[in-house]
Amino acid sequence: MKNRFVFFDSTPTDRRYFTQHLAAFNAELSFYQEPLTEQNIELARDASVISVHVPSKITAALLHSLPQVKFIAARTTGYDNIDVQAAKHANIIVSNVPRYGENTVAEYTFMLLLALSRKIVPSIEQGKSGNIDHTTLTGFDLNGKTLGVIGTGSIGQHVIKIANGFSMPVIAYDPFPNAELENNYNLRYASLQDLYATADIITLHAPYTGENKHLINSQAFAKMKKGAVLINTSRGELIDTKALVAVLASGKLGGAGLDVIEGENLLSLDEETELLLQPKKRGFDCAIEQMLLEKMPNVIITPHNAFNTTEALLRINTTTLENISNFFKQMPTNTV
């Protein structure tokens, strides 16, 4: 029987790329735009390889219903949407795509920060309407402001390099500090408490591990400087969104740029409609938190889009192809 490879969360570009480059495998390839969930498990029936992006939720129950799956190719760096322990128990190998987005996500981080610091959204709105009031568009310089970087891996390092170009001193926290970074860039490692108290802008680049859920909570906000700005391109679960709403509403936090947010799948109309039809308390809370944040003039929310450049997408597909090929050569790469 032919191997079956099923790609979820896929785009027409993914379909073209993998159809061309996996031809030699003589496998049956299926591509779905939708995520894989426990509700549409039939789509993955008989697949030996499944490949997913962030929206697919690979739970233990789902894997239990797909005993023929041998390999999961995550087309992402983060893999908190996959129950890796359950996969291990089922002898399924999981690979991810590390490092495709180091400059891509770092550039986006600064796009969010500059959009906030220079009030780009209201500037464009006022320019379009012709109702221009420069007194409402005053921003702040990045030059000389201290940037707090939480997580100094691939993306965090690029953020630090860009920050150096803006003449921003950097204070960083990582459980595994990188001495080379500290020697080569304008950077000092410190405790989280020190970082909260010192940074004018805090940006998150740590993976979501479950253990660091709500790392940025009301106690953390209490320690931050008045007017501090928070940027999150990592994972929504790192921030207690309810506490974020409260600290923004109180005026203590200066602003937030969020590419990721708890319950971010609710940004789609389908998911919100499903929530209305099948109410879930946490889902409702997330929807309300998001609605409140959307209304705040000093908050920018984008739909998990930091990864999305032509170059990064090609790097993702190239590495995913290598991961699949190497799995079949019994030399799996980028396993998690």
Q: How far is the CB of 202 from ligand NAI (least distance, A)?
A: 12
Q: Residues 194-233: x/- map of binding to ligand NAI (CB under 6 A)?
A: -----------xxxx---x--------------------x
CB of 64 to ligand NAI, least distance (A): 26
Q: Is 95 in the site for ligand NAI (CB under 6 A)?
A: no
Q: Please identify which residue in 3, 77, 109, 323 interacts with ligand NAI, judged by CB under 6 A.
A: 77
The verdict on whether 304 is a catalytic residue reads: yes
Q: Is residue 237 close enough to count as binding ligand NAI by CB under 6 A?
A: no
CB of 238 to ligand NAI, least distance (A): 8
319 near ligand NAI, rule: CB under 6 A? no
Nearest to 119 by CA among 108, 131, 134: 134
* Residue 264 annotated among the catalytic residues of the structure: yes
Cβ proximity to ligand NAI: between 195 and 247 the closer is 195
Q: Which residues form the catalytic set?
A: 235, 264, 304
Residues that bind ligand NAI (CB under 6 A): 77-78, 101, 105, 150-156, 173-176, 205-208, 212, 233-235, 259-260, 304, 306-307
